[in-house]
Amino acid sequence: MLLYIVLRTIASKKFTWRSDFANTAIAACSEPVNGYRCQKRIPLTVELKVKMFLRRFFLISTLVFFANPVTAALPVAVDGTPLPSLAPVLKEVTPSVVNVYTQTRVRVRSPLLEDPFFRRFFNVPDVPRERVSQSLGSGVIVDAENGYVLTNYHVIGRADEIAVGLKDGRSLEAKLIGSDPDTDLAVIQIPAEDLIALPLADTDELQVGDFVVAVGNPFGLGQTVTSGIVSALGRTGLRGLEYQNFIQTDASINPGNSGGALINLRGELVGINSAIFTPSGGNVGIGFAIPASMARYVMDQLIQFGEVRRGTIGVFVQDMTAALAGAFDVDAGQGVLVAEIAAGSAAEEAGLQPGDVILRMDGRKINSTQDFHNAEGGLALGESLEVEYLRDGKTRKTPVVIQSIPMLNGADIDRRLEGARFTELTARHKQQNISGVLLDELAPRSRLAREGLAEGDIIVGVNRQRVRSLLDFSRALESTRGSILLQISRSGRTYVARID
C-alpha cells in the first residue's frame, strides 16, 4: 500500500506538470518564439489518455501485489541458532522401543466332537482341536545388561510364544519373567546382546503441559512416533485394574502402541502406554500411560519374585462425600473415611479406629480411595509408613507396618481343594458391597478347575452357610461331611458347584 501511495503521488505531480506545460504550449502557439512560429499544438486528449493508462497500471500492479502475498515459512535457524527438533532425541530413544508379537493356542470346544458316540461313529481322531490367536504390541528395554523388557500384561496375557522385534531388524524369542494384572504390567526377557536401555524419569516432577512423545507399533505398521503434551495427571476409573494413577496425553496412541514408551524431551521414560478412550475404536486424542514410578516398583518386584507381593494395613476406607465431610468438619474430597478395621491387623495395632479420616500417607495427600490403594499397594511387605489422620477435630500421626494379605491354601483344609488359593476380598470388592472370599489362584488341572471354577471367582457360601471372611470359609469347610457345595459369584451372577 505504501508503494502504491508513493507511485500515485509521483504520477499525480507528473500529470499536473504535463497539463500545465500543455496549456503554456497552446498559448504560446499564437506568438513566435525566438523567431520560430508554433507549427503544431499539443493535444490535451493525448495527455489524458496517458494519465488514464498510468492510473490503470498502478491500480493493476497494486491488485497483483496484494493478491499474491508472500507465504510465511518456518526458518531453519533464528540468529544463527538451529530451531529445536525431536530428531536427535529420537535417534537415541527409538532403539530401546521394541515390537512384541505373541501367539496363543486356544482349545476349540465342540459338544459334538466331545461326544464319545459321535467320535466313534464318524471315526473322529482323539486329538484336541486348537486355533492359534495372534496379537501384537510394543515394549521398552529397561535393562540392557540383563535383557529385561517392560510391556503391558494385556499384550502378553496367556501367550504361549512371545517374540520381540528390534529396530535393527533382529527378531528374538522372549520368556516371561512375571506379570501383574492389577497394574497391567509385565516383564519379559530377551538375549542381552547389543541392547540399548531407556532411563526411567522421576514422574513426580511431571506437570500438565509438559511435552511428551509416544513411540510404538500401531496396527503393526512398524515403529511410529507421535507427539503431544501431558493433558492430565492422576487419572483413574478404568475398569479391571486395582491400582490406577494414569498419565493422560493427547499424543496419538492406537492399537499396537500398548506397552510402548511415553518419553519426555530429555529422552527419559515417563510412562508405559496402556489404554485409550475412544467411542469408535480409533484415536481421539485421549490416551493413558502408566507412570514410570509405578512401573519401576512393579518391575523390581516381578524381577525379584516373579510376582508383586503386596501387603495391607488392614483398613477398609470410603470416599469423603459432601454429606460426610460436613459431619467430620473437613472439605469434600479431602481424605478418606475409615469404615472398617480388620481384627489383628497392623492398623488395629497402630491405634487406628473406624471413623478416623486419613489425610496423608508417607507425606502424600489422600483424597480418594484410589489414592489410598495406590499408596498402600506401592509399598513392600514389612515396610513402614506414616499415616496422618483426623480424629475429634485433631490431627494425629502414627507409623503403620505393611503386612501380608491373609491367604489360605485349599489343600490345608480339604484335599479336594488342592491347587486353589483363597484370599480376603480387595477393597474394590468391598466398595461394591460384595462379601466372601476370593479364589486368587487355581491350577489348570485341579478338581475345582474341572468343575468349572476360575481365578477371580468369589465364594459367597459353603454348604448353604454364608461366608464373609477366610475364617468363616475355613470353619464351614472343617464342619463339612460329604460333598462340598460352593456358592460362587461371577460377573454379578451366582452359581453352585458340587465337589465330591
Of 175, 153, 178, nearest to 164 by C-alpha is 175
DSSP, res 72: P
Asked if residues 486 and 492 have their Cβ atoms less than 8 Å apart, the reply is no
Rounded to an integer, what distance in angstroms lies between the CA atom of residue 291 and that of residue 299?
12
Residue 75 makes CB contacts below 8 A (sequence gap 6+) with: 83
Active-site residue flag, 154: yes
Of 356, 354, 346, nearest to 399 by C-alpha is 346
Asked if residues 245 and 291 have their Cβ atoms less than 8 Å apart, the reply is yes
Residue recorded with cell 468343575: 451
What is the rounded end-to-end Cα distance, in angstroms, of the chain? 98
Rounded to an integer, what distance in angstroms lies between the CA atom of residue 219 and that of residue 393?
56
Rounded to an integer, what distance in angstroms lies between the CA atom of residue 180 and that of residue 157?
10
Residue recorded with cell 467320535: 119
CA distances from 354 to 369, 399, 431 (A): 15, 17, 16
DSSP string over 75-113: -SEETTEEPP-SHHHHHHHGGGEEEEEEEEEEE---TTT
Q: Write down the catalytic residue from 154, 179, 250, 252.
A: 154
State phi, psi for 469 to the nearest 5 degrees. Answer: -155, 170
Q: Which three cell numbers stand for residue 77?
A: 535457524
Rounded to the nearest 5 percent, the helix, strand and coil shares of the chain are 25, 35, 40
Quote the distance between the C-alpha of residue 108 and its chain's center: 33
CA distances from 478 to 423, 464, 481 (A): 17, 14, 8
Active-site residue flag, 258: yes
Residue 225 makes CB contacts below 8 A (sequence gap 6+) with: 86, 90, 94, 213, 214, 215
State phi, psi for 22 to the nearest 5 degrees. Answer: -65, -40
Residue recorded with cell 530429555: 266
Rounded to an integer, what distance in angstroms lies between the CA atom of residue 410 and that of residue 273?
38
Q: Provide the pairing of β-strand 261-263 with 269-276.
A: antiparallel
Q: Write down the catalytic residue from 180, 182, 184, 319.
A: 184
Q: Write down the catalytic residue from 96, 231, 252, 258.
A: 258
Q: Which three cell numbers stand for residue 156?
A: 502378553
Q: Which three cell numbers stand for residue 86?
A: 525431536
Q: Which DSSP helix (H) or strand (E) runs through 139? A: strand 130-143
Active-site residue flag, 429: no
Residues taking part in catalysis: 154, 184, 258
